[in-house]
Amino acid sequence: MTKSWDKEVDTLVIGSGAGGLLSALVAAANRADVLIVEKESQWGGTSATSGAGIWIPASDQAREAGFADKTADAFKYVRKLSAKNVPDANIRAFVENAAPMLRWVTAHTDINYQAFPYPDYHAENPGGSPTGYRTHMPLPIDGKKLGKDVETLRFASPAASLFGYLNWHFDETYILLFRAPRWWWHLAKSLARYWFDWPFRFRSRKDRRLTLGNALVGGLKLALNEKGVPLWLNTPMEELITEKGKVVGAVVRHGGQSLRIRARKGVVLAAGGFDKNQKMRDDHAPLYSRAYLSGGTSGNTGDAIQAGLGIGAQTLNLQSAWAAPVFYVPGEDRGRLCTIERALPGSMMVNQKGERYLNEAASYHIVGQIMARRELEHKDASPSWFVFDHRYRHSYPVGPLYPIMPDWLQRGEVRGILKKGRTVAELAAAMGVPVDTLEATFARYNDYAARGEDPDFHRGEAAYDKMYGDPRVGPNPCLRPLEKGPFYAMPIYPGDIGTNGGLLTDDQARVLDTKGKPISGLYAIGNNAASAMGESYPGAGVTIGPAMTFGYLAARHMTGAND
């Protein structure tokens, strides 16, 4: 006898990141009855904590900025970088539908995206863009429109906010980083706006000026609220329900009981990767072995991937992750992505022997991969050391370490990991690395940096390297000798911002079984699905851009949309 349903909808979305929210919105816009369930007490997923950049080839915004892009070039670029086992059709589906997706988002929500002159990570490759304009960033939105929903919106990552609570936009980062004229006035205004948000400030630490990831998911939630789409928090999925090989719904835990939810048109798995599941990492992604170093959120435990495996789904590239170097502050629940610091002049990275072994200014994915492989082969890169001098210390932030602010005013946990020495020899002793080796590394690095050269690892030569360099420093914005003590070092680890291997899907985001056939009624997007990027990271925004694009395609497919 068939069990009865506790609730019936057309579309059930598992997870509340940007991809899941957009798939729900597109389905609702096509007259579907939609329910979103989120296992955690906050909504927005890892998307909410991110910079929310999306990599979109041939967009309207890029065209308006004067960049004439072609999807054929984008396909050539991604195809060359992506793993060979990723189907051409999936890459083509992304590059050809990304711009229409973004056009739909800007037409149906309050979200506005701007194309940035942000070079592709491997812009020198065929089809790459050294001038950028494929990476798009959202403009801030007013979170007051969300009402009480803003209180359960996940906070931005500590690496993407100031003091852990003040939201800022991409442009504002550079004003503060390089202390542009009247930078202090911009900071004072931002702090005043935050602290004088009364009476809200007395009941929440949340900044209601939403930027970056908060702006993206906040704008999507606003549009969903207008359509009356419910989002249930504290509601994990327990299992998928199938009938005659078709997914017809799921069992979720809500309000202390298990509920059977029927999904007449389909279930969308959008619950993130398995970043925080140590066993799955051990089994599938041992190169990126430490779950606590991941920048992903605590809910990313691979539940949806395992549910798909339980009904015969096929997986792809489970060994892969969005690799990244991270700082880790004891007691925090995630690693802090290190993006900008590595490219700034007056710094370098060394292993536990005191040797440089990479181009510090390369994309975080490449640096994270090199660090992880170095640790696997030599056991001397986790942690590595991020080394900088007195001038750097008081010019730029280093993860949780703020410039200008004296050492004794920094958080105790930060002081505990910061190493310092009046001389290179003293610093080496504090780090526990051979003095002679570190002194030799300093001497060689400084000699070439004074000329703006790095013959060992070519730092500052690629367009991407220069993106985060200091334009006030020449001839190479990424290089300056480390000359004046005291000298400093912070431990930096091979980590990630999420796993990106998952369920194998087709070009409509349908999950495939072990025979390569679509499982009717089941879709997977974001880090629940194997990324079309394979093990590569072509440019800023290739995580959320495809998640949203395939969420858009999944919703249109299941609702039969043809507009």
Per-residue pLDDT of the chain (563 residues; tens, 9 = 90+): 568 999 999 999 999 999 999 999 999 999 999 999 999 999 999 999 999 999 999 999 999 999 999 999 999 999 999 999 999 999 999 999 999 999 999 999 999 999 999 999 999 999 999 999 999 999 999 999 999 999 999 998 887 788 878 888 777 777 777 788 888 888 898 889 989 999 999 999 999 999 999 999 999 999 999 999 999 999 999 999 999 999 999 999 999 999 999 999 999 999 999 999 999 999 999 999 899 999 999 999 999 999 999 999 999 999 999 999 999 999 998 999 999 999 999 999 999 999 999 999 999 999 999 999 999 999 999 999 999 999 999 999 999 999 989 999 999 999 999 999 999 999 999 999 999 999 999 999 999 999 999 999 999 999 999 999 999 999 999 999 999 999 999 999 999 999 999 999 999 999 999 999 999 999 999 999 999 999 999 999 999 999 999 999 999 999 998 65
426 found inside a domain:
yes
158 found inside a domain:
no
Taking alpha carbons only, the member of 392, 358, 394 closest to residue 373 is 358
DSSP one-letter code for 246: E
Q: Domain range spanning residue 489?
A: 324-496
200 found inside a domain:
no
Taking alpha carbons only, the member of 158, 408, 411 closest to residue 420 is 408
SS3 326: strand
Structure tokens at 23: 């798939």
**Cα–Cα dist 547/216, whole Å:** 13
**Confidence at residue 254, expressed as pLDDT on a 0 to 100 scale:** 97
**Residue 321: strand pairing partners:** 499
Assess contact for 528 and 269: CB atoms under 8 A. yes
pTM, two decimal places = 0.95
**Confidence at residue 561, expressed as pLDDT on a 0 to 100 scale:** 82
372 found inside a domain:
yes
- Strand 487-499, strand 384-388: pairing: antiparallel
471 found inside a domain:
yes
**Cα–Cα dist 194/335, whole Å:** 26
Which amino acid, one-letter code, is at 146? L
**Confidence at residue 95, expressed as pLDDT on a 0 to 100 scale:** 98
**Cα–Cα dist 536/129, whole Å:** 16
Assess contact for 14 and 304: CB atoms under 8 A. yes
- CB within 8 Å of 558: residues ≥ 6 apart: 11, 27, 32, 265, 266, 268, 523
DSSP one-letter code for 325: E
Q: Taking each helix axis as running N to C, give the angle between helix 170-177 and helix 183-195, from 0 to 180 degrees, rounded to the nearest 10.
A: 130
Angle among Cα 453, 456, 460 to the nearest 5 degrees reads: 45
**Confidence at residue 13, expressed as pLDDT on a 0 to 100 scale:** 98
**Cα–Cα dist 25/19, whole Å:** 10
Burial of residue 13 (number of CB atoms within 10 Å: 0-12, 13-18, 19+): buried
Taking alpha carbons only, the member of 79, 21, 84, 23 closest to residue 218 is 21
Count CA within 13 A, CB hemisphere, residue 17: 30
Burial of residue 54 (number of CB atoms within 10 Å: 0-12, 13-18, 19+): buried
Number of domains in the chain: 1
**Confidence at residue 159, expressed as pLDDT on a 0 to 100 scale:** 75
Count CA within 13 A, CB hemisphere, residue 496: 32
Q: How many residues does the chain have?
A: 563
- CB within 8 Å of 144: residues ≥ 6 apart: 150, 208
Assess contact for 376 and 331: CB atoms under 8 A. no
Contacts 24+ apart (CB under 8 A), 398-401: 398/327, 398/341, 398/488, 398/490, 399/159, 399/327, 399/329, 399/336, 399/338, 399/341, 399/490, 400/158, 400/327, 400/329, 400/336, 401/490
**Cα–Cα dist 131/120, whole Å:** 8
339 found inside a domain:
yes
338 found inside a domain:
yes
**Confidence at residue 2, expressed as pLDDT on a 0 to 100 scale:** 66
State the Cα torsion 476-417-190-64 to the nearest 10°.
Answer: 40
Structure tokens at 270: 């959008």
**Cα–Cα dist 249/263, whole Å:** 5
**Residue 306: strand pairing partners:** none
Helix, strand, coil distribution of the chain in percent, nearest 5: 35, 20, 45
Taking alpha carbons only, the member of 259, 216, 201, 271 closest to residue 16 is 271
CATH code where residue 364 lies: 3.90.700.10
163 found inside a domain:
no
Task: Residue 364: count other Cβ atoms within 10 Å of its Cβ.
Answer: 23
